[in-house]
Structure 1
């Protein structure tokens, strides 16, 4: 299961080529040392992560790897990603699963990632789709909010982000969303908790939350706007629709070649992104039970693709099974066919092996 998800995140990128940085692996790294030459970075070190998630049933503390770098300095201030990993950069690949929606300053973060990549490096993203998680009631992120956070120099999630997250979050899973169940209207965080988190933010604490509610179309639109404004140094190579039954989508961003004319590189990147956006499905609400005639074409196509993949895996399993059965039957035949003393039995057996 983990290998299959990693394949969806990585796409066509070969992680064995060059060095890799994974941001925020927590207890479920996408990339392990067996897969690539990888380093890990998070907001705090492993001890801090274990303490922060103590008692959280969703996080296995024993599975949290040692962090090679962390953003929080000894004095409590927070460094940038580029500052934290500067001594070890550059990397060929940066992997970030369910990270970009948390970063306080998306523009600054994308610039940091570009800074620590090789000139042709790739940023590989897995991003939760707000329609299929606790963000379902939240308004999608806007380019104005993204640019404002950058101009404000946010190093921690803003009051706006903390309030939007904790006031609007609801208990709603991808399974419930795809089944067409209405999300609850009651938020999952009591007002006292909301006030407490805001007070922490005002006191200077890093209050982790979803800063940017995204969907494939919203994310593609943001990147196009940021490219037009000259705020990002990436072209978008791939952006997927959210698979039926899942809650996340995937994107591959390739660093713009700084040896080229920036205006030309940006124009080409926007043209390529326009083609990708045109291939993304319309983001109308998920179909509800009984709406079979209204199932969007992309949902049908996705189910057909998953069925094809399942059939291919089944064919491989059957082929391996049949091969094992043939080898077993051959071994049994040889064990019950003793060779005569004149050696004709051996010749006969060799003949059977050579016959198709």
Structure 2
């Protein structure tokens, strides 16, 4: 069933709507110091890319992370597969908040989540809406980029993604983005061309990992991309519920469930694609780019 925005619900209520935490085994990816799944509410496995002490050392000077409050990581998902990290255990549901946009190989990541689900299991995601974040001026992800990263079995964000990220992320205030389109000329950027080329070269020559948003979504483009992946038999996950981006907020919520019925999967994403709202004032990327092109064009 597809849901629209219900602003009375909390983030946790939207994310976990309909789940029986007490009698189900959950898995939360990348919880750090702000887990949605609490062990007092039901059994949970915390998974991250490194062990607890490594994470606390990594984030000890980060003002946005309370390093001492980082959860005790139960399984490390690094160079191994998620199934290997869990030691063959299966779970009833997976939760990941603001994680999907960071994974270098989207298709492989989704496949690994699918591999550890019990029959009837679900994946619950919180996804940033690019129209109200620092990704405002970036292009929404296209299927070709996702296919390429899967083709090369990407383990790190690729050079072209790093360049796009560094050149286009900007200091965006969510509320301002809801009020009116942002001016690409006056909005401050986070990085410059030198930084973009330096990190891309570091990846290309050294295989270095730079943590960026590999994938950029609005609710509609997310649904369109997943519909396209389903049409190409790249995923077998249907959309069973979603909460659109609430006004003055910057994220949306999606629930996915495995299915063997391709038609059902494709149609579920089509329903989300046509069901999202269109009242957000954020200017489409192509309009901003066209304005920039016209301004730079010679007279």
Q: With structure 1 as the length reference, what TM-score do the two structures score?
A: 0.72
Give the drift of 1:12. 2.0
How far off is 1:26 after superposition? 1.7
Match runs of 1:5-154 below 5 Å: 5-72=11-78, 78-85=79-86, 87-154=87-154
Deviation at 1:17, TM superposition (A): 3.1
More helix by share: 1
Query: 1:103 and 1:79 mapped to 2: Cα distance?
Result: 14
Whole-Å separation in 2 of the counterparts to 1:234 and 1:283:
28
Q: Does 1:277 align with 2:273?
A: yes
Question: Are the aligned partners of 1:89 and 1:117 in contact in 2 as well (CA < 8 Å)?
Answer: no
C-alpha contact 1:104 1:211 (8 A) present in aligned 2: yes
The CA deviation at 1:212 is 0.3
Query: Over residues 141-172 of structure 1, what are the superposed CA-to-partner deviations in whole Å (9 max), with x where a residue is unaligned?
Result: 01111111111111111112222212211111
1:244 to 2:250 alignment: no
Q: Which residue of 2 aligns with 1:198?
A: 200
Higher relative contact order (CA 8 A, sep 6+): 2
- Following superposition, the deviation at residue 238 of structure 1 comes to 1.2
Q: CA deviation at 1:40?
A: 1.0
- From 259, 265, 268, the equivalent of 2:264 is 268
- Asked if 1 retains the 8 angstrom alpha-carbon contact of 2:170 and 2:189, the reply is yes
CA RMSD in angstroms comes to: 2.0
Stretches of structure 2 that go unaligned for 5 or more consecutive residues are 1-8, 284-299
Q: CA deviation at 1:273?
A: 2.8
In structure 2, distance between residues paired with 1:84 and 1:38 = 14
Structure 1 unmatched runs, 5+:
73-77, 257-261, 288-356
8 Å contact kept, 1:128–1:214: yes
- Contact 2:224–2:269 under 8 Å retained in 1: no
TM-score, normalising length: structure 2:
0.85
- Cα 1:44–1:283 change in 2 (3 A) is farther
Larger radius of gyration: 1
Aligned to 1:169: 169
Question: Partners in 2 of 1:8 and 1:31 — Cα distance?
Answer: 13
- Structure 2 CA distance for aligned equivalents of residues 40 and 156 of structure 1: 22
Gap change, CA 1:193 and 1:80, over 3 Å in 2: farther
